[in-house]
Each structure stands twice: as C-alpha cells, then as structure tokens.
Structure 1
Amino acid sequence: MVQGMTQQHKTVWWAFTLPLLAVLIWSMNITVTRYVADYISPVSISFYRWLVAFVVLTPFMLGKVWRERQLVLAHWKQLAVLGAFGMVLYQGLGYSAAHYTTATNMGIINAFIPVFTIFVSMLMLKDIPNRFAVVGSMLSFAGLLYVMAQGNFSQLVQSGGHLGDVMMVLAVFFYAFYGVFLKKWQLQIPLLISLYVQIIFALLYHLPFVLYLGLDAIDQHNVSSVLYAGIFPSLIAPLVWMLAVQMIGPNRTSIFMNLMPVCTAIIAKLWLGEAWTIYHSIGGLVILSGILLAQKKESILKTAKLNT
C-alpha cells in the first residue's frame, strides 16, 4: 500500500515538470525568434520551421494519416482553419514582431493568451465571463499598455506604441481563436494526426508568400535556430504539454503558462543582454495579477462541485 502511494506521488511530482519543460522550450523559442531576426526573414524561418517538423513527422505519420483518411477528410475544413490561426497567423506575426520589439516584451504579451481566450469564448461560444474575468482582464490590459508605453502613457499616445508590440498582440489574439476553435469543435482526431495535417496546411499557406518574397538561404548563422524552431517548440513542447494536460488536468497545466514572461526575460537577459526595467516589473506584476484573477472562476466552480 505504501509502495503504491509512493509510486503515485512520484508520478504526480514528475508530471508537474512536463508543463514547466514546455514553457521553457517556448520561452527559449521567443528568444531564438528575436535573435535570428537579424539573420533570416520572417517568411523564411516560418516556412523552414514547419518544413522541418513535416520532414521529422512524415516517416511516422504518413501511414497513420492514410489509414485515417476518411476521418481527416471529414474534418479537413476545421484542420485548415486551425493551421491558419495557430501556425501561420500566430507564428508568422510573432516572427515579424521580433524585428521591432524585444524578446522580453514578446514574452509578456504572450502571457495574454488566457485573457484573450476569455473574450473570444464570449464572442464565439456565448460563454459570458464572470466579474473576476472582466476585472482581471481589464487589469491585465492596463499592465500591457504600461509595458508598451515603457512606463509613460503619454509616450504611448504620441507614438502609437511599438509596431512589434502591436503585431505581437494581434498574434496572441489569433492564437486565442485557435484555442477556442479547438474547444468549440472538439475534433475526435488523434492529436498527432491533427498536428501533422495542420502542418501540411501551414506549408501550403506559406507557398504564395514564398513565391512572392522568396526564401533566405540557410547558413551557419540561422541553421541552429531553424532546427530548434522546427523540432522543439513545434513538436516536443506540444506533445509534452498535451501529456501534462492528460496527467494533471488542463486547469493546473495552464497556470504554468504564466511563467513564460519570467522565463523569457531571464533567457533574453542571459543570451541577448536585454534589460529588465522597472516598467517591466510593475507592468508584469499587474498583468500576472489580472491573469490569475481572471482565472478565479475555475477554482470557484471546482469548490462548488466538491461541496454538492
């Protein structure tokens, strides 16, 4: 009996390292995105990233997709939309934003995914947010504006904010749609098959841009970044994250996403020498407080269920 309890404890403890690993991989990718912006165009790295992921997955997935082709064909429109929002609009805008803002700011803005998801859910699923979600979202948005204004709201009004920050906000907004589409459709398709087909659509969407803008060559300056982007954040992190959701649940897993701004800032400081300023501290604290408040509904509902 004691041995069984010990084994369960070990399994639970180990499971909590999974979302942390995924967040570290994604945080590193934001910094990689900022670093490689000087060596490769957004279209090129975005295309190469999904091409690498496609090449790695194809030997394992092509046969499975063929066997499940009827299932894939029945949901190809949804998979096409998911590929557009999650892999092209979100990632493409993120790579473009890296040319105009810092990795630290990108990490902070990326933490807005849960907040934006609340409002997209309200629009698409008629899921009316409670007062905690509304107040928390407003608080987080104020913190975001404070960071974008570099601590001076009058500067934000005069300059209109950094183009990169605005592009990153749009990217995160599109990713919120991606999450809500997943929730709305709840496709009964194996996760790896879904991921593989979305990657195929992402590559197809890139083709017009590649033909019009061309591709930068892969060289010693960008090859490691391309390989990292194509393997770790594209394949390993999503699989680790999905495993964590299965083992510890979606709510506890999602909390780890709030660590991304801190992890990104630390990596960007050590690697790129980016400064963490007082306005990052104040704005980041306000944003994190708002995000945690916006998610309070989950714990309240859980408590109510346990008491009934």
Structure 2
Amino acid sequence: MAGIDANLSPHDPFQRYAIFAPLTTVLIWSGNAVVTKMAADVIAPSSIAFYRWLLALLVMTPFVGPTAWANRNAMKPLWKKMTLLGFLGMVVYQCLAYVAAETTTAINMGVILALMPLFSTLLASVLASEKLTVARIMGGLISIAGLLYLTSRGHLSNLVTGGLHIGDAIMLIAVIANALYGVLVKRWAIPLPIWQSLFWQILAATIILIPLWLMGPVSPITASNLPLILFAAIPASLLAPLFWVIGITRLGAARTALTINVLPVVVALLAWMFLQERLQGYHYIGGGIALLGVIVGLREWKIGPPRKSEPGPVAWPGEEI
C-alpha cells in the first residue's frame, strides 16, 4: 500500500483514497465467486446467467438507454463486435463459471480468476502483435506449474490417473474467454462511451442467452436464489466495472491491476465463512506458485531510466494492463 500511496497527491483526498475503488471491485468479484458456488445448488447455470444480465439491462436502461439509442448510428457499424464481446465476456465466461462451480471449489475459482491479467498479456502477444517478453513467458510457465499442482490436489500423479479436474478445467476456459474479451476491447478501441458500450454488449448477451435459457432446465426465481441473482446483476455486473474504471482513472492501469493479487485471499476467507471450505496445503503451495507467475509475468524488466507514463485508454477488467 505504501508503494501505491507514495505517488498520490496529498492535496487530493479522492486520489489518496483511490486505492479503495479497485479493492472494492476485487471484494465484489470475490463475493461473486462465492455466490457462483452457492448458485450451483439452487439454480441452473443458464437461468442465473439469463436473469442476471436481463436484470442488469433493466437497471441500466433508464440511465443509459436513451443516450445509447440516440447514438445508435455510431453503434450500427459495430454491432458484430458488440455481439462477439457480449458473447465472450457475458455468455461464455459467466455460463462456464456457473457450470464450473458445480464441480470445483470457490477457493480454486478464486486462484484461477487471479490469473486473468496474465492470460490477457499472453493473448495480447499472440493476437495484438505485442512483444512476448521473457517475463511473460516465465510468468506463464510458473503459473501453469502452480495450476497443475493446485488442480492435482498436490499429487501430480493424479493428472495421469484422473486427468485435470473437470471444474477447474471449465473455469480455466471461462477465464481465458474473458481474457480474450479484454484483449479485443483494447485492440478494437470501441469509439463509444464506456457505459454505452457496456449497454449494447449486455443487450446482445441477453438476446443470446434467451434460447439457452429456454432450452433449460429453466429454474424459476425463488426466495433462495433471488439474493444470488441480485448480487450477480447489480454489484458484480454494474458496480464492479464502475469502481475498476475509477481505479484505473485515478491510479493507472498497472497499479490497479496489482490489486487482483488479493482476490484469492479474499475468496478463501469468504468461502471459509459462508461455504465452510477449508484451505489445504496444496491451496497454499499451488495458489502461491500460480500468483508468483502473475507477478513475474506482469513485471517489465527494462534497461535504462523508465519512460514517463502516458495516458492511455481506460482498460476493462480482464484486459492486458
């Protein structure tokens, strides 16, 4: 924390406390991992995904809808990109996360989620022609080693006899899909205000989810699953991106990205409190190695004096930052 506060202006109270914005996002994401695990027992994955984004869309419409509609001509040439982004970030990622929760733990999900920035850097190297540095290669290899140890429950021989744990594998695919979403957002540089862009993506995702929801099994909204839907729709879908953007605007993308390293810790604490999940030795070792890979992969080793940072476009969660 001291390293972050060192560069903040003492005369700007909002700047001084800006670190709490991305930390709030991480807290919401952590809570959503636990909510996702809770949802596995009370609602079908396709149902909660549909209800979540439909409710988020309904909440956004009075505030963003009129402006987005008035600016619809600017969106028309972008509808294919908006549809793909909504499909990757809100359909594939969220649906697979809910499916993964049926066969893995919230703690494992938290560790895999924390690898998203590293996956984004690796995908950016492949798809956006960004240089694949030694740090990124080393970070990727270290994180893979940690994931293998984690998903094998500390016994690598389990990967030979039993294969990769299905829930962890599905969650890994989900995170890669969301990382790809972030890379495409950055590469395409959508020429729309952030909230209008998000509105059209959510609209596309909701439309795509309708047939998946109808193909079922369709779960009705009940007293037991309504709080989970509300948390996923409002804090996780709307407030988390808002606080993340505030953090990037005030702190910069690189420093904001560092806060994601505390996500597995918060998830583990919440999972212990609400799900009675217990940390095992392989969680500490495998998760620690995986997060070490993230730190190594996001570190840029340069020779000579650092260049003065330049303002850039606001990054969405999951982007290479």
Give TM class, smaller chain. over 0.9
C-alpha distance in 2 between matches for 1:212 and 1:272: 30
Mapping of residues 11-90 of structure 1, within 5 Å: 11-90=14-93
Comparing 161-170 with 70-79, greater Cα deviation is found at 70-79
Higher helix fraction (1 or 2)? 1
Instruction: Name the counterpart of 2:106.
Output: 103
The structural deviation recorded for 1:301 is: 8.0
Deviation at 1:208, TM superposition (A): 1.6
Task: Determine the C-alpha separation between the residues in 2 that align with 1:12 and 1:157.
Answer: 51
Write the distance in 2 (CA, Å) between the matches of 1:175 and 1:123: 16
Are 1:236 and 2:239 matched, yes or no? yes
Question: Structure 2 matches for 1:253-268, cutoff 5 A?
Answer: 253-268=256-271
Match of 1:167 in 2: 170
Deviation at 1:287, TM superposition (A): 1.1
Indicate how the Cα distance of structure 1 residues 41 and 155 shifts in structure 2: closer, same or farther if over 3 A, else same: same
After TM superposition, where is structure 1 displaced by more than 6 Å over at least 4 residues in a row?
none
Structure 1 segments unaligned to the other structure (5+ residues): none
Structure 2 counterpart SS, 1:254: helix
1:7 paired to 2:15: no
Tell me the alpha carbon deviations over residues 190-240 of structure 1, each in whole angstroms, 9 at most, x when there is no partner: 111011110100111112212222421111110100011100000000011
Question: Cα 1:143–1:227, aligned 2, differ >3 Å: closer, same or farther?
Answer: same
The amino acid across from 1:94 in the alignment is: A
Map of 1:123 onto structure 2: 126
> Does the aligned pair in 1 maintain the 2:39–2:98 contact within 8 Å?
no
Of the structure 1 ranges 139-148 and 66-75, higher mean CA displacement relative to structure 2 is found in 66-75
Cross-structure match for 2:196: 193
Match of 2:147 among 144, 147, 152: 144
Q: d(CA) in 2 for partners of 1:110 and 1:259?
A: 11
Paired residues of 2:115 and 2:291 also in contact (CA < 8 A): no
Cα distance in 1, alignment partners of residues 186 and 150 from structure 2: 31
Deviation at 1:247, TM superposition (A): 1.0
The answer on whether the counterparts of 2:10 and 2:16 sit within 8 Å (CA) in structure 1 is no
Structure 2 runs not aligned, ≥5 long:
1-8, 310-321
* Cα displacement (A) at 1:112: 1.3
Task: Indicate which of 141, 157, 161 corresponds to 1:158.
Answer: 161
Task: Give 1:16's aligned amino acid.
Answer: I
**1:294 pairs with 2:297:** yes
- Correspondence for 2:307: 305
Larger mean Cα displacement after TM superposition, 28-37 or 109-118: 109-118
TM (norm. structure 1) is 0.94
Can you list the C-alpha shifts for 1:107-129, whole angstroms capped at 9, x where unaligned? 00111112211221122112121
Q: Distance in 2 between matches of 1:263 and 1:12?
A: 24
Amino acid of the structure 1 residue aligned with 2:31 = M
The Cα offsets for residues 142-161 of structure 1, whole Å up to 9 and x where unpaired, read as: 00110000000001221112
Aligned residue number for residue 218 of structure 2:
215
Question: Residue in 2 aligned with 1:269?
Answer: 272
Q: Kindly tell me: are residues 306 and 70 of structure 1, through their superposed partners in 2, closer, same or farther at Cα, counting changes over 3 Å?
A: closer
Distance (whole Å) between structure 1 residues aligned to residue 294 and residue 303 of structure 2? 17
Query: Take 2:305 and 2:219, find their aligned partners in 1: how far apart are those partners?
Result: 54
**Identity level (%):** 37
How far apart, CA to CA, are the structure 1 residues paired with 2:142 and 2:68? 44
Cα distance in 2 for residues equivalent to 1:132 and 1:116: 13
- What is the CA-CA distance between 1:11 and the residue it aligns to? 2.3
Cα distance in 2 for partners of 1:246, 1:165 equals: 33
Residues in 2 aligned to 1:22 and 1:194: alpha-carbon distance in whole angstroms: 19
CA distance, structure 2, for counterparts of residue 165 and residue 201 of structure 1: 28
Question: C-alpha distance in 2, partners of 1:300/1:250?
Answer: 18
Q: How many residue pairs align between the two structures?
A: 301
